[in-house]
Chains A and B, each alone.
Chain A
Amino acid sequence: MPDFSFIFAQSISGLTAAMFLFLIAAGLSLIFGVLRVLNFAHGTFYMLGAYAAFQFMQWLGPGRGRFWLAALGAAAAIALLGGLVERFLFRHLYGAEELYQLLFTYALVLVLGDAAKMLWGTQQKSVSAPPELGGKALSLFGATIPYYNLFIILLGPVIALGFWLTLQRTRAGRFIRAAALDRETLGALGVNVDALYTWVFVLASFLGGLGGALISPMRATTPGMDTEIIVEAFVVVVIGGLGSFWGTFFGALIYGQVLSFGILFFPRFSIFAVFALMAAVLILRPWGLLGRPLK
């Protein structure tokens, strides 16, 4: 029987992974919820967020507070990019078949992926952890928890709550929820649905870019990280329920823990455990744990 400190350490690492995944999957789920399109390019926005953070760090240089500026700058830049993509490209496809929209987001993956390669090359890039948190760790119940991981664990629920409150309590949030239910009626009531869609894209891209920027101190930034993450994020939203906000949150939590503890029981097949879970969910509740059945 493994001791408590190990189990605790494992659950913390699962929690960290979950909060990262939530940041990225939330944007994917939001776009699907409102626009009914699976945005393959969301992983690319995440990758560009990491590259942008690297670029901002190059310009700013190391120092206190610089990382946070870089991360916010990166997220804002990616939000802008997402907005432009929606306004000038994606908008023309709303009338088209879903397949075309899907193909378009996939084309974006290829085009933006190659653009990133032209800008930053194929060499891996690395961003240092912020000096305020990097290199320090908390010892709790015999487990080592880096401060940066702790920050991520706390940030996840804050963003989730803020996001949820925006959707529930603000005028814009109500419009977004209404758009998800019935676009035409909302338009007929005089709401500028086009602008609303642009803002949904901006918000989702902001979250994706922020996820990429925040993960850059923990991982290498390389070409190809976009397609890796999109698969994981997709599994999360499928487990939680496509378009369901809290479903995405719980999907991420479950994913993180299954992956973390999976290696105890099937050391070489922990990734299999996650996919087995997804398969089980798809069989028992095809619309996900907290999702609604599609009409």
Chain B
Amino acid sequence: MHRRTLLILALVLLLPLAAEAQKPIKVGMPMPLSGPPALFGDPASKGAQMYVEEINAKGGVLGRKLELLVRDSKADANEAVRQARELILKDNVEFLVGTLTSAEGPAVSVVAKENKIVFIAPIPKTDQLTAPDKLHPYIFRVASNTTIEGRSAAEIVAKWPVTRVATMSFDYAYGQDVTKAFVEHLKKVKPGVEIVDQQWPKLGEQDYNPFINAQMAKKPEAIFSSIWGGFFVTYSKQAKALGVFDAIKYHFIGVGEAATPETTKSMGADYPVGIWGNSYDAFYWGETAAHKDYVARLSKYLKDEYPSSWAIQGYIGMQFLAEAIKKANSTDSDKVAKALLNLTVETPVGPLTIREKDHQANRGQLYGKTVKDAKYPFAIMKPVTYVDPTKFMD
């Protein structure tokens, strides 16, 4: 009798363990799916989902399928934290991949630290996310960061025949950090340059006219802007109407992905063709066979002839997670976290490595001067160059 009870007890205890091996590996993704930032959050989550479906079709990871749980973070730090907590406590996710803004990323990083869960940030760029005082064993970033982006832009502007440079950035973590990195690096590589004006509209500003007037009154010869995404559409329409681009002879560089195919496509003939900009990806890049293949798959998946440049970030985030689980041969967060250090992954944009030092991948971006191209009904970057940040990440 006693023995039978023990046997049943043992069975009851062991059954869930046996079932465990068959259960999918749950990954939580807090990502803005509403409001203007959904422009990037939505395709990024779809890129992640595409990777999940592809790897599941091949049998998953360690014999288990991946399951992605996407939640709308509303681009709000509090909401992202709430969603991350709920994903961990209620949905029992084992990993987090997600967040978009530089407010959400660091906030969710704290949750990951508390719960000892690996968190891979695919988009937030603020340096503070992986700064020495904020770094912990579970946070990793496969996005570019503000140091990389600011310095990449400075390298380009340094080659222009200009000395009077102005900046236009939103007054919050990302805008301030990327502008600081740009200004410091530019002064280093081209000491003669003078920063004649800096404007700081609030995040999401809709009327740039007063800022543009104030800036142009200082007679800059070149402008660095980090006004991103849909906000760049608004800014550049108003700047174009006020003759800004002609006045500075198109010595303008827009970081914050001002030259993504999505932006040039939506603006069509209104895009200030001739300016410089960057993008995480461009369907027309076609540098390698791997990239061409990725674009073809994505195009089919999104049913879009010119697929989004943001999907790649969700895709890479999931790719790093899956590769780390394979390398660790476990879904234990501590083991996966260790496996992510110095992990090199062959991504569609080439090999990327997460550094042990600051958990930051050497993710650069595409840069180029925008031109009209007969092949497309919108401007493209040509020639488009991948700026590898490895040499100026420190």
Contacts and interface: CB of A to CB of B under 8 A. Distances in A.
B351 to A, nearest CB: 31
Contacts, number: 114
| Secondary structure class of chain B's binding surface, majority of residues | helix
Given A137-B241, A149-B241, A219-B237, A126 B35 contact: no
A262 to B, nearest CB: 8
Given A6-B217, A137-B241, A126 B270 contact: yes
A216 to B, nearest CB: 10
A146 interface: yes
A55 interface: no
A268 interface: yes
Contact of A122 (B42, B199, B267, B268): B42
Interface in A146-172: 146, 148-149
Given A122-B42, A125-B266, A10 B213 contact: yes
Contacts of B233: 124, 126, 219-220
B229 A217 contact: no
Given A144-B242, A149-B241, A13 B209 contact: yes
B39 A137 contact: no
Contacts of B206: 219, 225, 228-229
Contacts of A16: 209
B231 interface: yes
Contact of B210 (A123, A148, A268, A270): A270
A267 B53 CA distance: 49
Nearest to B41: A122
Contacts of A268: 171, 200
A6 B213 contact: yes
A228 B36 CA distance: 11
Contact of A128 (B200, B229, B238, B270): B270
24 contacts: A6-B214, A10-B214, A13-B207, A17-B209, A122-B39, A123-B39, A124-B233, A125-B266, A126-B266, A144-B242, A144-B243, A146-B241, A148-B241, A149-B209, A217-B237, A218-B234, A219-B238, A223-B36, A224-B36, A225-B36, A259-B207, A260-B210, A262-B210, A263-B214
Given A135-B241, A149-B209, A267-B199, 14 more contacts: A6-B217, A13-B210, A13-B213, A17-B209, A123-B39, A124-B39, A137-B242, A143-B213, A146-B242, A228-B204, A228-B206, A263-B211, A264-B214, A267-B214
> Lowest 3 CB-CB distances: which A-B pairs, in order?
A13-B209, A220-B233, A146-B241
Interface of A: 2-3, 5-6, 9-10, 13-14, 16-17, 117, 122-126, 128-129, 134-135, 137, 143-144, 146, 148-149, 217-220, 222-225, 228-229, 259-264, 267-268, 270-271
